[in-house]
Structure 1
């Protein structure tokens, strides 16, 4: 399935790769400090300035997936990943504008 070259696959990958990166970030950075996932989410919700930074970190994995799809000449899938990445970027900008 991941070898196909289509836009819906790129959109799905673009949406869920940052979610996977979010949990990976939690597992690597906060779980060793014995912070539960619930406490981590409460920390993010309570500290609104942390949210755009965390989304930006999670988008790094999207860049890696985009790179692999462009290298394998799956350009239509890469377009879907890029489209969703830009939507995440717009969200980050709005969050930064709202919360200073």
Structure 2
């Protein structure tokens, strides 16, 4: 099974996909009646301070926190390092978005 592997590349893939899943979950919770296009257009284009997308991305990082905790507790350190590395990249992007927008 994929969750039993201990691989840095697997961790980076999970670290990349986790927040995307989190953003989709945020979309379904916040913009239930809107289509994907309408919701993401609002978050990226219409809202000048990008507050909604930064909140969505911040909450999406919680998915990576759950994945990271799971892999640390199962002693899959290489996979956890990959997840942590991508979490740091996402965190820096969110920080830049909040700071410079």
Q: Same fold (TM over 0.5)?
A: yes
Q: Which residue of 1 aligns with 2:12?
A: 11
Post-superposition offset of 1:56: 0.3
Corresponding residue pairs, total: 97
Distance 1:26 1:76 in 2: 31
Q: Which residue of 2 aligns with 1:82?
A: 84
Matched, 1:43 2:42: yes
Q: Which runs of 5+ in 1 are unaligned?
A: none
Runs of 4+ in structure 1 over 6 Å off: none
Supply the RMSD in Å over aligned alpha carbons. Answer: 1.1
- Residues 60-87 of structure 1, C-alpha deviations (whole Å, 9 max, x = no match): 1110010001011101100000000000
Post-superposition offset of 1:52: 1.8
Post-superposition offset of 1:28: 2.5
Any idea what SS the aligned residue of 1:35 has?
A: coil
